[in-house]
Amino acid sequence: MSTQAYTTQTAADPTAIDASARTVHYKCGDCDQDVPLKRGEPIRCRNCGHRVLYKQRTNR
C-alpha cells in the first residue's frame, strides 16, 4: 500500500454550482409573460398565478 494519505479535492465543482443556479425561461400559458424559474421553485406564473408554463426553445 502507498504511504501517502488519500486526499479529496475540496474545491467545489464549477459545473455543479452553475447547474443549481441556472434559470430556465418559460412562457405563461395564460398571460404570455416570460417566467424565469430556478431549480426547486414552484411552477407558477408570478403575474397571474397560472400553473401551465411552456418551455421556450433554445438557440444552439
The identity of residue 42, as a single letter, is: P
Give me the half-sphere count of Cα atoms (radius 13 Å) on the Cβ side of residue 14: 0
CA distance readout (Å), 38 to 5, 13, 23 = 39, 19, 5
Give me the pLDDT at residue 57, please. 86
Q: Which three cell numbers stand for residue 56?
A: 421556450
Domains of the chain: 25-60 (2.20.28.30)
CA gap 36, 46 in Å, rounded: 9
- Average pLDDT of adjacent 10-residue blocks, the chain of 60 residues: 64 56 92 96 95 89
Output the pTM of the full model: 0.61
Distance of CA 31 to the CA centre of its chain: 23
Give me the pLDDT at residue 1, please. 60
